[in-house]
Amino acid sequence: QVELVESGGGLVQGGGSLRLSCAASGSPFSIRSMRWYRQAPGKQRELVALITSDGSTNYADSVKGRFTISRDIALNTVYLKMNGLKSEDTAVYYCNVVATTARVMGTLTRAYWGQGTQVTVSS
């Protein structure tokens, strides 16, 4: 099984910055893509940013120009650098990794989720 450990959340004032990290570990695996989602109370879960195996990135319109997703392949880690934080960015942020693992009957490709990390932006 692939396990994801998130870190970097916290309380920050509006206009501030945070960097979230998500490190994957566990059984041997190959990462296909990495994503950051967020969910605020009473809101739908929202895809924030995506990075694919070839390094291509995509962002939600609400964070474009402020957030940057990146990865460290050697460390199996994905980052989300968040600048110019706004109160609307307050949410629990979840790392999502699509990875392939070996199984006795072949291989399995599926999504794995981090535990979530709280980001709170004060006014």
User: Are β-strands 91-103 and 77-82 bridged in parallel, bridged antiparallel, or unpaired?
Assistant: unpaired
In terms of pLDDT, which residue wins out, 14 or 103?
14
Q: What is the pLDDT of residues 50-101, one digit of tens each?
A: 999 999 999 999 999 999 999 999 999 999 999 999 999 999 999 999 999 9
Distance (Å, whole) CA 38 – CA 105: 34
User: Are β-strands 10-13 and 117-122 bridged in parallel, bridged antiparallel, or unpaired?
Assistant: parallel
Q: What is the pLDDT of residues 22-60, one digit of tens each?
A: 999 998 899 999 999 999 999 999 999 999 999 999 999
DSSP secondary structure of 42-66: TS--EEEEEEETT--EEE-TTTTTT
The number of residues making up the chain comes to 123
Q: What is the mean pLDDT of residues 6-10?
A: 97
- Say if residue 114's pLDDT is above 90: yes
